[in-house]
Amino acid sequence: MSMWEGALLTLFVLVSTSACVLVFMVFGWYVVWRCFLSKFRFLRELVGDRGAQMPEEPVQPIVEPSSERPARRRTRQSPRVST
């Protein structure tokens, strides 16, 4: 094996290893995005993802029951002085 063959083999190993690591990282980020991160509207806006818009949940107004007594405010009472 000549010196050039060894250098080319070393370069090939480094490039192929880096490519495999990059492919696994991209695949991992894709899975995490699809399963978890895409549910956050803020992150979708940061990335600019317009194609996979998730429908927003309708906001339901909070209705207080009218049959209950209104809450009484607590007022500060002055201490009673006995004489």
Q: For residue range 26-74, what is the model confidence (pLDDT) as tens digits? A: 999 888 888 888 788 877 787 777 665 555 556 566 666 666 666 677 7
**Rounded to an integer, what distance in angstroms lies between the CA atom of residue 3 and that of residue 8?**
9
Q: Which of 1-5, 36-40, 77-81 has the lowest mean pLDDT?
A: 77-81
The CA angle 61-66-67, to the nearest 5 degrees, is 140
Confirm whether pTM is higher than 0.85. no
The highest-confidence range among 1-5, 7-11, 61-65, by mean pLDDT, is 7-11
**According to the model, what pLDDT value does residue 82 have?**
72
How far is Cα 66 from Cα 75, in angstroms, rounded to an integer? Answer: 24
What single-letter amino acid sits at 30? Answer: Y
What pLDDT shows up at residue 33?
A: 81
